[in-house]
Structure 1
């Protein structure tokens, strides 16, 4: 995503130091750490809970002279604080003699029976759907959201780093984080003010953005949307809370008693409401759980305040800390409405205490609630202009009047500092490097060169392949765009090219006209479902490392023209036409077909005109951008449905064949509670009419050593060919559910993956009779029984690598059949 990588480098603000700070380690008499112990400033409600390793840090703007430490089964202890700043404290707790039998219970697992904390938890379950705005038929409120990124662990080594030569002024002022105690400096801030309308009877909700601004990048909707999705909204009453593509078990979950220990720690009046304080912490390490506490009302059983902190041992990458606070106010003496939601995460390359990283913080405030004001169905269905320039250019008077919480001195400084920083040459260099790494393009004025990651490739026909390309790019909301490339193969000594253009005619309906032409060498059948993407190219066509040789490539000359329309959100209609010529790119491969009934004459080139209507629907997809191009910001996290009906027209522009084809594709990720994610992919299709090999549906094999989505990793190219097919892929990622319970493996944070794939299909006798190839390929379909294979894999190796081991289930007698194979993939995942 454009710009995001470089934000980890920058920036500054004023120092405001808390008056009391304390940090250290809590251990027992044997020297072992005491995790999840309560640490508070004495005679206050300000405190924290120790981490898995017994460490803690807390600070306050008030002055305190002592700490109070307690944990079930141990004697409470008070520690005097000798100064305002007290680091490296080492506190030893003594076991209570009368509670020795209880120590094992509470350090490991609290009792599920006769536990008053769990009795209270059950009351919360019974009443959780009767709280908040769900109590009313209609609701509306004002929402103010503030998102911030901060560079943390500032020290002299970082300040003197060559990276910041010419930008030393950004370190003149720093601050200290209240949760971790680390020195940090703000590098980016974004503010948004919205009005939210909802109708529980209609099950509709609509959010209207009134204003948005950020430090230096006010018109960058891509960055804004990415940050917003990174900290997606959640409901603490849900069983699972999703952050960073992972599902954490909520401490209020109905399955919580299986993964959390609960202790009734206190009772008190909170804003004139009698409440219970429940402390909770994980039963096991390495699971996606929290530690913390919450206050719950004794009559409505609604949460008044909750703190959640992810334990350091949780199986999540690049995130060292997650800290959440929510507060609620009472309406009409019984209804609890959220007023404040604070989310903080510490991004770092590793989880070592001294590692540097970036804080990501989101604070959302809610105010001006109104209820039972009907808006009607038409209000929620009305589609306005999706991009309004003035929303991103509000004056300071608007912000002063509409902010629910005013910016502090640190946050105000970010706006002025970044405006200055953007004029510094050293910053411009960092910005350019970050942009190239994030987008793959080198930016020029009105033109982007790239993508640079496609510069080199290899296949057995072209040999080493060199590619250069680019696109027009003036703003993120360009109504039109032209893209193109040229490539050269050093073995076949031929130039290839592709060029495409698109124009957004109407922004509301997203009416787009597209067209293009491509002449290239391609691996046909890289996927079952056709899209006629002019510039698309599968890794199968140019992978540098393969299993065996691949000469079954095709020279393709493809021209397309289409109209696209989005009548409602995430539902697209595309009507278009294409003309293509196909010819084998190697003398070791044949697309030849018979041209007469006697089967005495053949042709080696296919010429085909086709028109198609494509319907696609992606519920839950989130995009950014209001021009002809949009960027998907939650890739792979939503369902995808695709239906294609196409017709081949004979004798139109010398077209050879007449046929009809229908294809369906459905991909769906399923969150299976705490057991991970199951991804299912179903495809089916049928061609009516006789067609040659070049127009049949090739079951996508994979002869590379890389994992390619939607392919069968043990099939060779053209091993199976069909004109009717049904395919199913099932893959389940357990996200370390079982490895986390195996000593010696749990600390590696590996993730278990299992998959099974199957396809069944046939070729009509008419299509078989057209085929004039006698050796490569021999047409065969998985018709006598479904072809299937299964695999097991290990993900998150060194946080970036995944390896899969594949096993064929049948059709071992196929020529050159592979019964076992290994593929791998690199990727950055949380």
Structure 2
């Protein structure tokens, strides 16, 4: 599994899965009206017209094609339809059924200052000599002056509210006997936020902060004054859950070229390249507060691309600023799970004549079924006030970390929030904190969450100790045969300062016990699974290992990884003593150093043999004592912290790491002296409509003399799972080197090409490509052919070489893949391009991995 499916997804699933089961209960009887709104004179569709059930606040707006669907529970007899420049129309409907109608609106010239009407056959759309495109180009050219970064100094207050609710949950569910205990939760409904749907709030988060920006030298500083959120207790990492949800519902800056949303990038309708991907149409002209505004509709040229559709109002003064904008997505877009997505932003003019963002609303309705059934609704509302520009603050305001949380931010009393919220909570929202506090105390809820924790996180909690992970309890391999393992670890409930972890395993073929024991001391008295880490750990491990296999985010004895292709009989028994110290800083620079005493014993078909004149001399063990130090810098890195791993969330910033290790001969029976230097740079490049690329550059060099188990054994993969950071058609132990350089490129097009192919467009498949190159070599002093005292490279049962060095030809591997298969899987056809003459080589292979993307 990849990072997001196993970790980010696991915690969000824990939150939503149990409650989503409730959302598939049959809906109560509703009134549904579907139809179109058109101009009565020329029958052109009217986008963004308003439709409501008369006498209620339940309503919706038409899409770019003038279509709408309005649903509500109640005996509604009429709907009201209104649009700027037209007379309001009242139409009768039949309560309690689904029906389709067409509404034609009559123009009302008395309401208009100016109206642009297009009639007759629409001409072929062109950018050239198009007044709508000329207007948007003016908006684009004035973007910089309309952003806060244009000023030398700027500061403002921000109120941030994020809430999630179950949507379309039947009101009759609270009457069922099985849910009687949950009536206090199930009856807390919101029927006004999402017209036509009943929402049951389950999560709420509020944050009040002060922001300071300085252009030169550039500095952004945020001081969090208040932070309040629903707490689900021990079943979730609440900080990690907050980071993940805020990442999904990112802040929207319409003036940025690309907008990150739901793990995807959307091209802004006012990006520099937007006229290439969007079509623009002049709508109406209105006057607000003596300011003339022009309405501009925009739609994607290709309805399946990651683009918006909607309407903006633009000032006609020298600013060419956006005063209001509504964004939505086409139903045909290649986006998973999302039924409806809307973004609404408003800008207010301030004393300097500029327009600043005053409110931003992001609303998304998720569901397994596109048009029916229960789902999850999320809304993030951001409100801004007290703007000040070109008013410098004292230097100490900008100094220090980019984000500072005031000491009592998380414990602010309700009186603080009553006085500082930019808007009041709805009646349903105001009860969420208390309701969830009551819910998590209920034994039945605890039992349900424990079951989901075992299923998705793999651990069974017993308070201060938890047993797991479950996927390692059983596995098998050629050396150990059938393997059973049981382990666990202490939790912060026992102590936030001291931690212990252990497991024991037994192989029924080799009849050996394996075990692990570690003790960790948290120096900063925080959980060792949370950022920033500052701890010291001592451990001992006796277990098996495949030489060179380095897995990300999974244990090597994971049951699913027991299935391997080809010959897989060369293993190691390891006895490893370690002491490690890790220290992270708030600026995301970290360092670690440690000492390791490592005894390796060959297992299975692997042998350690030296040449002595004409005979080979076996060696039973190899012992090494090694000191290491590592530095890592990941600017602006965010984590999703789950039960087992802490998963970085990919962003546009690079990550740098440098590691140096040295073996000390003679120390604790160490047999070799050497130095190993490794450097890595990785970065995700966002390419707007062409998707994104993950690029990793790595290089290493070993100084001194060392046998092949201590050289760089390059990461191979003989499982059927596609691994991003391994060579998927390289055999275990196939290549070793003492100096190397590699590049790993993995690119996702996000369906850019498949969206143009009818069948693939319907399946919502997405294309992916990868390329991996490894160049390296072995100096003569580390070549066992020239130095008989070194261990000879492994050979198979017939004496055919099994391990090789890289010569002047690099190892090359490429793949093409189809992602988003059944919304969860990526399947790659992998091609090995070089060293095809090696034994047991697969030139082609099909590999799969589980993914989770919107």
Which among 790, 811, 824 is matched to residue 835 of structure 2?
Answer: 811
8 A contact 1:591–1:694 mirrored in 2: no
Secondary structure of 1:81's partner?
Answer: strand
**TM-score, with normalisation over the residues of structure 1?**
0.88
Q: 1:616 aligns with which of 627, 632, 635?
A: 632
The number of aligned residues is 801
1:362 aligns with 2:370: no
State the Cα distance separating 1:430 from its structure 2 match: 2.6
TM alignment of 1:742-753, pairs within 5 A: 742-753=757-768
The residue aligned with 1:606 is: 622
Residue aligning to 1:311: 330
- Pick one of 494, 498, 513 that aligns with 1:495: 513
| Corresponding residue for residue 15 of structure 1 | none
Are 1:772 and 2:792 an aligned pair?
yes
Match of 1:153 among 158, 168, 186: 168
Q: Distance in 1 between matches of 2:367 and 2:597?
A: 50
User: Would you say the 8 A contact 2:717–2:732 is kept in 1?
Assistant: yes
Residue 388 of structure 1 and its aligned partner are, at CA, apart by 6.4
Secondary structure, counterpart of 1:293 in structure 2: strand
**Distance between the aligned counterparts of 1:233 and 1:578, measured in 2?**
45
| Match 1:48 to one of 61, 72, 78 | 61
**Distance change (3 Å), C-alpha of 1:191 and 1:517:** same
Partner of 1:81: 91
Q: In the TM superposition, what is the alpha-carbon distance from 1:478 to its structure 2 partner? A: 2.8
- TM-score normalised according to structure 2 size: 0.86
In structure 1, the residue matched to 2:196 is 181
Counterparts of 1:697-712 in structure 2 under 5 Å? 697-712=712-727
> In the alignment, which residue of structure 1 is the partner of 2:28?
none
- CA deviation digits over 1:62-112, x for unaligned, max 9? 9996425799xxxx9975322797963421779x9x97863474xxxx332
Alignment of 1:397-796 (within 5 A): 397-474=415-492, 478-506=496-524, 510-527=533-550, 537-538=555-556, 543-567=561-585, 569-586=587-604, 588-593=605-610, 601-623=617-639, 631-632=646-647, 634-635=649-650, 639-769=654-784, 770-773=790-793, 775-776=795-796, 778-796=802-820
Structure 1 unaligned runs (5+)?
Answer: 13-20
Equivalent pair of 1:51/1:312 in contact (CA under 8 Å): no
What SS class does the counterpart of residue 137 from structure 2 fall into?
helix
Relative to 1, partners in 2 of residues 1:133 and 1:492: Cα closer, same or farther, differing over 3 Å? same
Q: 1:524, 1:309 → 2: CA distance?
A: 51
CA distance in 2, matches of 1:236, 1:477: 46
Query: How far has the Cα of 1:376 moved from its partner?
Result: 5.6
SS in 1 for 2:719: coil
Distance 2:557 2:727 in 1: 14
Q: 1:798 aligns with which of 822, 842, 846?
A: 822
Decide whether the 8 Å contact of 2:777 with 2:807 is kept in 1: yes
* Structure 1 contact 40–69 (Cα < 8 Å) conserved: yes
Q: CA deviation at 1:3?
A: 5.5
- Partners of 1:70 and 1:403 lie apart in 2 by 32
Q: 2:691·2:747 contact (CA, 8 Å) conserved in 1?
A: yes
Q: What is the Cα deviation at residue 123 of structure 1?
A: 0.9
**Superimposed CA distance per residue, residues 506-559 of structure 1 (whole angstroms, 9 cap, x where no aligned partner):** 47985422221111101121249xxxx9x9744799713211231111111111
Equivalent pair of 2:77/2:92 in contact (CA under 8 Å):
no
Match of 1:821 in 2: 845
Alignment of 1:261-280 (within 5 A): 261-280=279-298
Is contact 2:256–2:271 with CA below 8 Å preserved after alignment? Answer: yes
Contact 1:592 / 1:605 at 8 angstroms: preserved in 2? no
Q: Pick one of 336, 350, 359 that aligns with 2:355.
A: 336
Counterpart residue number, 1:18: none
3-state SS of paired residue (1:176): coil
2:251 is aligned to 233
**Cα offset, 1:297, TM superposition:** 1.1
Alpha-carbon distance in structure 1 between the residues aligned to 2:462 and 2:177: 26
> Which deviates the most, 214-223 or 194-203?
214-223
How has the CA–CA distance of structure 1 residues 320 and 454 changed in structure 2, closer, same or farther, with 3 Å as cutoff? Answer: farther
Residues 514 and 227 of structure 1, relative CA distance in 2, 3 Å threshold: same
Q: Tell me how large the CA RMSD over aligned residues is.
A: 3.8
In structure 2, the partner of 1:346 is 365
Matched position secondary structure for 1:102: coil
Q: Secondary structure at the match of 2:422?
A: coil
Deviation at 1:717, TM superposition (A): 0.9
8 Å CA contact 2:60–2:68 kept in 1: the answer is no
What is the Cα deviation at residue 125 of structure 1?
A: 0.7
SS of 1:117 mapped into structure 2: helix
Q: Tell me: CA distance 1:164–1:248, structure 2 relative to 1, closer, same or farther (3 Å).
A: farther
Q: 1:369 to 1:514 in 2, by over 3 A?
A: same
Give me the whole-angstrom Cα distance separating, in 1, the residues matched to 2:648 and 2:679: 25
Give the whole-Å Cα distance in 2 for the aligned partners of 1:700 and 1:262: 51
Q: For residue 417 of structure 2, give the secondary structure of its aligned residue in structure 1.
A: helix
Residue matched to 2:49: 39
Is structure 2 residue 81 aligned with structure 1 residue 67? yes
Following superposition of structure 1 onto structure 2, how do residues 72-111 of structure 1 map, counting pairs within 5 Å?
79-82=89-92, 88-91=99-102, 102-103=121-122, 105=124, 110-111=125-126
Using the TM superposition, give the Cα deviation of residue 232 of structure 1 relative to its aligned residue in structure 2, in angstroms.
2.0
| Alpha-carbon spacing, 1:570–1:701, altered in 2? closer, same or farther (3 Å) | same
- Asked whether the equivalents of residues 198 and 206 of structure 1 are also in contact (C-alpha less than 8 Å), the reply is yes
The answer to whether the 8 A contact 2:325-2:345 is kept is yes
CA contact (8 A) 1:584 1:604 kept: yes
Per-residue deviation, 1:25: 2.3
- Could you tell me how far apart the structure 1 residues matched to 2:132 and 2:205 are? 39
Query: 1:715-755, CA deviations, whole angstroms, 9 ceiling, x for partnerless residues?
Result: 11111111111111111110110110011221111010111
Post-superposition CA distance 1:457-477 (Å, at most 9, x none): 221111232222222112599
Partner of 1:212: 227
CA distance in 2, matches of 1:438, 1:99: 56
Higher deviation after alignment, 453-462 or 789-798: 453-462
- Kept in 2: contact 1:10–1:170 (CA 8 A): no
1:523–1:541 CA contact under 8 A, matched in 2: no
CA distance in 1, matches of 2:287, 2:469: 60
Q: Pick from 158, 176, 179: which aligns with 1:143?
A: 158
Q: Does 1:122 align with 2:137?
A: yes
CA distance in 1, matches of 2:582, 2:852: 33
Task: State the SS of the aligned residue for 1:543.
Answer: helix
3-state SS of paired residue (1:714): coil
d(CA) in 2 for partners of 1:271, 1:482:
66
1:368 deviates by 2.0
2: CA distance between counterparts of 1:771 and 1:752? 45
Q: For residue 237 of structure 1, give the secondary structure of its aligned residue in structure 2.
A: coil
SS at match of 2:461: strand
Query: Helix, strand or coil: the match of 1:461?
Result: coil
Specify the alignment match of 1:16 in structure 2.
none
